[in-house]
Amino acid sequence: MIEATKYRVALWGTGNVGRNALAGVMARPDLELVGVWVSSEVKAGKDAGELAGLCVHTKVKATSNRDEILALKPDCIVHCAMADNRLVEAIEDLCMILSNGINVVSSGPVFLQFPYGVVDESMYQPIVEACNAGNSSLFVNGIDPGFANDLLPLVLSGICEEIEEVRCMEILNYATYNQGTVLMDIMGFGKPIEYLPMLLHPGVLTMAWGSVLHQLAKGLGIELDSIEESYERVITDHEIRIDSGTIEAGTVAALRFELVGLAGNKRPIVLEHVTRLSDDIAPSWPQPVGKGCYRVVITGEPNYTCDLQLLGRDGDHNTAGLKATAMRLVNSVPSVIKSRSGLISALDLPLTPGVGLVTSSSKVST
């Protein structure tokens, strides 16, 4: 039964994740969209329905004025602004919102998913102080880091007798992921093999995904002593055209990295990413189920392999990944509003099902 309460929600940022989150807010009957903040003056004044790519008129107009959104006093803001290359600004925005007494679900900065033991306390203490000042909550999540390597492996661990290793994997072709800044500048695709992108500088992988390992360790009741990083890259021998541009022959077209959580002489938690821009690159690396998947492999008694295959209605797995990230946030809004104040994680929230999302067009098979 759907709750009578309707929560007032604003959207912050309408990029790849944000526009999907915007559609997601409109899809939930217990959420009321009251405002949209955009960073672009070109988008300011446009109807939320148009920004979401929907043929609907909401009468909610986007604004580039932060104060206008804060003045609405929504119960929660779905924050989807880019944080990967603007860390300081993103944290400042979050602190501003939280200190004004507004709860937030956000796609980044990703280390805030579970920062303890990952980054210096000084990096997340301003967030804690802002939550205390506003009696508000922040939940950072998505599909990865997020659901695919927090809730999913922890659920599987509940049917184990013994666990030796939990390995969380992303195996995806990013060719249709239209985000050049992330692919080229941050991940180093399309660059010479000698070029060291931001992601592969020592410690950056741990800052981005170390939260995954430490949160899983907390959920499994263990402590990690350290995290080891490793990576390998493969160049392409032919030109590859992707949505973000052209990858020239002789430049990087595949990346595989691994983070290993160590506890004594054991390695109980491992995160691995296998990213290609063409299916024929690095054929010996792990292959996905379908066009792309997240995979959890638990070695122990018994052994488990769980593949989460992604596919959007348009037939694309990257579309599905963006939608999954957005809906992990949107569907968590009611639980986050009801939660304790402070920086919270997946370990603090109850199961967050898609309440009210079964459509009237659903049919029973005969």
Please say whether the structural domain 7-141+332-344 has been given the CATH code 3.40.50.720. Answer: yes
Strands 103-106 and 76-79: parallel
User: Residue 362: pLDDT band by 50, 70, 90 thresholds?
Assistant: low
Bridge partners (DSSP) of residue 140 are 106
Amino acid letter, residue 97: I
What the block records as the tokens of 220 is: 């499994």
What the block records as the tokens of 239 is: 């030109």
Average pLDDT over residues 324-338: 98
What the block records as the tokens of 282 is: 């690095």
User: Residue 76: pLDDT band by 50, 70, 90 thresholds?
Assistant: very high
Per the omega criterion (within 30 degrees of 0), is the bond before 283 cis?
A: no
User: Residue 84: pLDDT band by 50, 70, 90 thresholds?
Assistant: confident
Residue 334 Cα to chain centre, angstroms: 18
Strands (E), 99-225: 103-106, 137-140, 162-173
pTM for this prediction: 0.94
The residue ranges of every structural domain in the chain are: 7-141+332-344, 147-314
CA separation for the pair 301, 99 (Å, rounded): 47
Query: CATH assignment of 147-314?
Result: 3.30.360
DSSP 283: T
pLDDT at 4 over 70: no
